[in-house]
Amino acid sequence: GTEIYDQSHGTFVDLSILDVLQIFGRAGRPQFDTSGTGIIITTHDKLTHYLKSMTNQFPIESNFINLLADNLNAEVALGTVTNIDEAVEWLSYTYLFVRMRINPQVYGLTYADVQEEPMLETKRRELITAAAMLLDKTHMIRYNERTGDLNITDLGRTASHYYITCETMEVFNSMVRKSMTQGYVLEMLTRCSDFQQLKVRKEELTELWSLKDQYCELRIEDAPEDIHWKINILLQTYLSRGRVNGSSLQSDLNYISQVIESIFNVRVMWNVLNRYLIVSIQISIVSVYIRYTIICNHKDYNTLHLRQDNYTSKKNYRLYENIDRCY
């Protein structure tokens, strides 16, 4: 059918009309045929939706505003944007600017605003200024309000390189402490904005409880209706190299592992913690960071060291661990 599992939403979603149009656009062979045939296989209740979308196509609006801060950070990191004026001009090259002029009401404007200022420079400057202030608040860039200069920081450059969102950095900045336990670090990671769209499904609860008892060495508050409870269990399962059976849980686990590895890759968390280390060296916070970096790279979570050897089969190192427990 037309349902696919979307990791970013944590559930099954309908194939978007953009994907359908792209597939249909590739159905023909221009060098051989003058026409092509595309077939949609879907349930009857969704047939009308796709037929209307194909025959009565509506304009595609821009969602660029939702990720404006992250994209601005990337441009500043590249050096293509160095101040507010350049950022305002950069925004005029986007599809967002095109749609704001054609359909301004969707973006909080009126047709009178477009008539008074066709290039919408005031609106563009408001959007850029708000994004710059947010990035400055999260220590990803340095924004000089007097001169309008934008300068990237190590944290912002690293976040741009590893696709860490501004919202996630804001969570880290608000929760990081001078002294943190391993359990607190895991709890902080579950608050990443990348996980907000995941859901707790009733059919997963039985396996989640089993995973918690089998693989979770750090204490987790029992709150099955809370998404952070599920993420914490899957995170500890991943660090313990646990096995997940459910297909939806496996997809969620793969998504969580990708996000966590990017966060602990090289310097992301180090740059978050660095401003505390300048004031006072805290052994606990350094040890926790190094500990989880090793865990993510080698999956060494209080387990046999042979697990770090990628050439040892799963069957063998599980046998070795069982023998080790006997002694």
CATH number at residue 143: 1.10.10.10
Q: What pLDDT shows up at residue 3?
A: 85
Q: Do 231 and 152 share a structural domain?
A: no
Q: Pick from 50, 34, 54: which is nearest to 42 by CA?
A: 50
Verify that 120 and 263 share a domain, yes or no. Answer: no
Q: Is 269 exposed, middle or buried (0-12, 13-18, 19+ CB in 10 A)?
A: buried
Q: Estimate the crossing angle of helix 247-264 against helix 268-279, to 10 degrees.
A: 50
Count the neighbouring beta carbons within 10 Å of the beta carbon of residue 28.
14
Residue-wise pLDDT tens digits, 147-161: 999 999 888 888 888
Residues 196 and 213 placed together within one structural domain of the fold: yes
What does the block give as tokens for 120? 């919408």
Same-domain pairing of 120 and 184 = no
Q: What are phi and psi of 206, to 5 degrees?
A: -60, -45
Total domain count, the chain? 3
pLDDT at 35: 75
Domain with 38 in it: 3-55
From the number of C-beta atoms within 10 Å of its C-beta (0-12, 13-18, 19+), residue 301 rates as buried
- CA 300 to each of CA 12, 219, 269, 315, 325: distance values in angstroms, whole numbers, following the listed order: 33, 19, 19, 17, 16
Residue type present at position 36: G
| Of 10 and 37, the one with more pLDDT | 37
Rounded to two decimals, what is the model's pTM? 0.76
Last residue of a domain, one of 119, 135, 161: 161
pLDDT at 261: 77
Query: Bigger pLDDT: 5 or 190?
Result: 190
pLDDT at residue 175 is higher than 90: no
DSSP annotation of 64 reads G
Ramachandran class of 27: left when φ > 0, alpha when ψ lies in -120 to 50, beta otherwise: alpha
Residue 79 gets the label, from left (phi > 0), alpha (psi -120 to 50) or beta, of left
Average confidence score pLDDT of the chain: 81
Tokens of 302: 């209080």
Decide if 324 is inside a domain. Answer: no
One domain for residues 154 and 261:
no
Q: Is the pLDDT of residue 13 over 50?
A: yes
Which amino acid belongs to residue 313?
Answer: S
Residues 6 or more apart in contact with residue 116 via CB below 8 angstroms: none
Q: What pLDDT sits at residue 230?
A: 93
Average confidence (pLDDT) over 85-112: 96
155 plus 171 within the same structural domain: no
Q: Which residues contact 159 (CB under 8 A, 6 or more apart)?
A: 73, 140, 165, 166, 169, 268
pLDDT at 306: 46
Q: Are 177 and 213 contained in the same domain?
A: yes
Please check whether residues 155 and 292 belong to one and the same domain: no
pLDDT for 289 equals: 56
pLDDT digits (tens, 9 = 90+) for 278-305: 444 344 555 555 556 556 665 555 554 4
Residue 150's pLDDT is: 98
299/225 same-domain check: yes
Asked if residue 311 and residue 179 are part of one domain, the reply reads yes
Q: Is the pLDDT of residue 121 over 50?
A: yes
Query: What CATH number has the domain bearing residue 176?
Result: 1.10.3380.10
β-sheet bridge partners, residue 143: 150
Instruction: Name the band, by pLDDT with cuts 50, 70 and 90, for residue 267.
Output: low
pLDDT at 20: 85
Buried b (16+ CB within 10 A) or exposed e, 138-155: bbbbebeeeebebebbeb
